[in-house]
Each structure stands twice: as C-alpha cells, then as structure tokens.
Amino acid sequence: MVIGKKYLLHNPTFAPILLDTLGVSFTSSSPSRPEVDPLAPQQHTSLLSSPSRRLGAIAGLLSGGIAVTIGMLVAALGTVASPIDAVGSSFIDRTPRWLKTLAIDWFGTNDKTALRVGIVIVLIAVALIAGSFSVTSPKPLISAIIIFAFLGALSASEREGSNGASILAPIVGATIGIASAVLLLSMLTNSWLAASTPSPSRVPLGWDRRRFMRASAAVGATAVTAGLIGQSKELQRVRSTESQRPDSLPPVANSLPPSEISQDVSFITPNSDFYRIDTTLSFPNVNLEKWKLRIHGLVDQEIILSYADIAAMPQVEKTITICCVSNEIGGPYIGNAVWQGVYLKDLLLQAGVKSEAEQVFSRSLDGWTCGFPIEIALDGRDALLAIGMNGEPLPLAHGFPVRLIVPGIYGYISATKWLSEIEVNKWSDAEGYWIPRGWARDAPIKTQSRIDVPRSGATVTAGQTRVAGVAWAQHTGIQKVEVRINDEKWNDALLGDDITDDTWRLWTFDWQATPGTHTIQVRATDKSGYTQTEMVTGVAPDGATGWHTRTVTVA
C-alpha cells in the first residue's frame, strides 16, 4: 500500500490502471489512455479523482487506526477491556445458538481470535470506504468514527466491572481519530485544489503531498506507538494478576492414589492441555486481597469469605472429569484434573439453605452466570469450591482465584470460573447466561466414549494394533466399553482403573489390523445399565449423542 500510495502520488496519470490492477475501480478509465495533458480541464477530474479517493482511504485507515489504538491505550491505563474486546463481548452475548455452534465448529478454542480478527477486518473496511468518500467533505469518515465510538461506549457500559475508563476510552480515541481525519483530509483537499488549478509550476502540489505524507506518517507512528503501549499495559495487567497466584496450595487432608500411567491416553489432563471454554475476551481483574465470595439469598445467614478464609478451611482433593456441552462426539472439550478445595455443601449448610430454595446461582468477576438444582449441591456428591488444579493454584484461564466444580453436570450450568458470588434462589429469580440463549436448564452429562488412538490420519501397519480412548458418565460411572470394526460384532474393551464414578475411564482394545480401510466404533455402557445411543444429535440444547467413529487406513 505504501508503494501504491507513492506510485499514485507521483504518477496521477497512471493511477486508474493501478487501481484497476488492485481491483478498485472508481472511474471507467481504460488502460490505453492516450497521452494527454493531465491538467487539461476536461481530463483532470477523472484522472485525479481516483488517486485522491485512494488517499482518502489512507486517511480513513490512519485516523480509524489511531482512534482504535488510543482507545486501547486509555482502556489499558484504566485496566478495563479494550473497546474492541468490549464490542466483541457484546457480540458474544448476542450470538445466536447456531452461530456460536458454527464458530466453535470452525475455529474451536480459537473462536475469540477469529472474532477479534473479524472485528478488525470490519473496522479496516469501513475506515477505507468512509475515508475514500471523505475527500470532498470529511463527514462520512467523522460519522463512521462517531458511530463506532458510540458502539464501543455502549458495549463497554454493559460489561461487568466497567468504569469511567471504559466509556472514556472510545471517546478519547474518537476525538483523536476525528482530529487526525480532519487534519489529513484537509491536506488532501488542499492538494486536490492545488492540483486542479492549472499552474505553471507544480510546487504547491508537491509541497502538500509531502506534508500529507509526513502527517500520515506521524499519525501512523502515533497509532502504532499507542497500540504497543496499550498492549504492553494489558500484558502487565495479566502478569500482575498472575503474580497474585500463591506459590503453593494449603495441605490436603485426603491423599489420592498415584494416577494411572498409560502410553496411549493420559488419565490426568495436564493444565497446559486442559480445554478452555468461556465467554471472556480478557481475564477479569483480580485483587486477591480484596476478593470476597458472598453466599446469600435463600439462606438463614449470609456468608462472606476471603481467599485466606477458604484456604484456611480443611482442604480436599478430588479427581473430577469436567466437560463442555459443546463437545461434539469425539471432541476435545473434556478434561480430567485433580481439583483441590472445600465442599460447597459444607458452606451451604453453614449458611442454612431455606426449604423453598431451588437453584444454586453463581456469578463470576466477569459477570457470567449459571445455575443448577440445589439438590445437586446437597446430595453428597463432591461439588467443590476449588482453588487448586493438578497441584497448583488455579491458572488464570481456569478461574483463579476460585471456581466451582460439580461432578455430573455440564460446565455451562455449574463450573463458574473467577467466582464472585453464590446466590441460593428460585428458578424464577434468575436464569444463567446460556439459558435464554437456547440451552437446557437441566443438563446432566451424557454417557459418552471417544477413540484417541490410532490418532486421526495416522498410518497404521497391519498386525496387532492398540486402539485406545476414554469413556465417561460422570457421577454414574462406566461399566463397559465396546469396540467394533467395520460394523462387525462388538468386542469388550479392557477398562482402566475405576477411580471414582466422577472421572472418565481409560480403555484399550487390541485389534488385528489387516490392510485396507476400516472403521472403528466405540460405545460405552454406564453403571445404570444405559448403553450410548447410536442416534446422532447435535450439541444443542443439552449435549451430543452418537457413537464415535474413526476411519483408518492400514498399510
């Protein structure tokens, strides 16, 4: 683009050809334009309108860019989400179910990066177009900047934890953006006027052009600098949250047996490999000293706990497999970890749950909410207020300082990360984040199984071949796993240790592989006697069903 810009500036006659080459056409010019005096009255409009639009687009890009990066900088200084992330979060909140499912299908856990990239592409496109239409009057570009600033401020105002800086960021950004737009466009208009006034000397045009370029460079450099400072402030913010994580966890009362070792599939999912699903674009601010968990609502007495209070309570360690309702058959959004913390039930009993209570409704520092039946919290299962994951304090991505872990129900109704509040209430009092978005209110985890080995796309050599994977039916337990090849008879797989009913079970099956293409299928039977249905359903509204099938080629 820089080359294009220079080229256009120095060769106005050639501009339409270049624009055509770039696929941008503002004039109906033909490449074989006859040699004419470029300043002849009947020619100069068509000749010069193209390059000036191009320059307008550059002015649009630069002033839009500086508006965004100054907005990012102000937001970072105020330790709030950047205007882009605020708009992104508002977009996430309004994403219809089909689009959310599509985004996860296409981009997986990169869906947030995809969203950010999408927003930036829209901004760039609008800036270029608005700029190109602003050569004669800056109104289109100024309007576009104001509209986006308004969107940014509106989105920021609906974010949990937003403050003055959230609203100030898009306003300051827009002000600088508009000033830059006016500055650059006025120079463009001047150069345009200079160019269209036949003059024996081209000096005024050259002078204006150089000024425009210098001003553009200054705006561009300021934008990049602001962006870089904003980015480093944001990294600093995340690091400062990270630095509040204690070095170690308080000791636990129970100790778990060493976990099963398998070459094929890991029983415990390391934190670095653990799936991450949430609606958060940037980690919420955590101030560990000030952090308080409030347990209130339909209880006899409200409880307020600090992190130190929770850490001082008797600690338990439980191995629990959690999974996401958006996990397709065979999908990766499931993980098994050793969670450390305190029993949720103890705290609820301490608060005294009133008989009319129906729902344990929780809220996070980023404003996300969910709720599950009070019976599940009280029926004796290992529902935890967790502070540790696999021997270390909860990582930021997994909910530091405190999260909920409830065996047997999907994460979207139970596993609140960055927990801030638990309210015991009635179903009619509040709905969790995903419920009005079309997901089921009650969502026990469905019995499922997955083939992990042979990995998809792996080349298998004929002979004895290890087929392996995991099967889960949290809080019911896995009783049997069967494997079949090419729709033949089902064979019992060998099951790994039955640690508790709340974890997945590893399984293996030794297969005499013969050359050719084969399908491998798996199905699990849980301890209630239920065998996974063959019927394939999608993830919405309460989890996918069907048998995981993998096709392999044996050489």
Ligand X SMILES: Nc1nc2c(c(=O)[nH]1)N[C@H]1C(S)=C(S)[C@@H](COP(=O)(O)O)O[C@H]1N2
In the complex, which residues of this chain contact ligand X (CB under 6 A)?
A: 274-280, 324, 364, 366, 368, 398, 411-412, 415-418
Task: State which residue has the least CB distance to ligand X.
Answer: 411
Give the shortest CB-80-to-ligand X separation in angstroms. Answer: 17
Q: What is the closest distance, in whole angstroms, from the C-beta atom of residue 119 to ligand X in the complex? A: 19
Total interface residues for Mo ion by CB under 5 A: 4
Of 482, 505, 484, the C-alpha closest to 495 is: 505
Choose the contact partner of 307 out of ligand X, Mo ion, none; CB within 5 to 8 A by kind: none
Q: Which is nearer to ligand X, 172 or 338 (CB)?
A: 338
Of residues 320 through 349, those in contact with Mo ion by CB under 5 A are: 324
CB of 90 to ligand X, least distance (A): 15
State the minimum distance, in angstroms, from the CB of residue 357 to ligand X.
22
Interface positions, 268-287, toward Mo ion (CB under 5 A): 277
418 binds, among Mo ion, ligand X, none (CB under 5 to 8 A by kind): ligand X
Min separation Cβ 116 and Mo ion, Å: 21
Pick one of Mo ion, ligand X, none as the site partner of residue 249 (Cβ within 5 to 8 A by kind).
Answer: none
User: Of the two residues 255 and 272, which places its CB atom closer to ligand X in the complex?
Assistant: 272
- Compute the half-sphere exposure of residue 34: CA atoms within 13 Å on the CB side of its CA: 4
Of 533, 379, 387, the closest CA to residue 449 belongs to 533
Nearer to ligand X, 109 or 225 (CB): 109
For residue 310, give the nearest of 291, 287, 297, 283 by alpha carbon: 291
Partner touching 53 among ligand X, Mo ion, none, CB below 5 to 8 Å by kind: none
Tokens of 53: 């639009």
The Cα 180–Cα 217 span in angstroms is: 11
Q: How far is residue 336 from each of residues 274, 318, 389, 452, measured CA to CA in Å?
A: 8, 10, 10, 15
**Minimum gap (Å) between residue 392 Cβ and ligand X:** 14
Residue 368 binding partner per list Mo ion, ligand X, none, with a CB distance cut-off of 5 to 8 Å that depends on partner kind: ligand X
Q: Which does residue 279 bind out of Mo ion, ligand X, none, counting CB within 5 to 8 angstroms by kind?
A: ligand X
Query: Sheet of 491-492: strands edge to edge?
Result: 459-460, 548-554, 516-526, 478-485, 491-492
Site for Mo ion in 405-434 (CB under 5 A): 411-412
Q: For residues 37 and 20, give the distance between their C-alpha atoms in angstroms, rounded to a whole number.
A: 21
**Shortest approach of ligand X to residue 273 CB, angstroms?**
11
Name the nearest CA neighbour of 146 among 174, 108, 172. Answer: 174
Residue of 55, 101, 72, 347 lying closest to 208 (CA atoms):
55
Q: Give me 460's structure tokens.
A: 């298998």
Spatial contact of 282 and 85, defined as CB atoms under 8 Å apart: yes
Q: Which residue has the tokens 């997986």?
A: 108
Given ligand X, Mo ion, none, residue 274, with its beta carbon under 5 to 8 Å by kind, binds ligand X
Using CB under 5 A, list all residues that contact Mo ion.
277, 324, 411-412
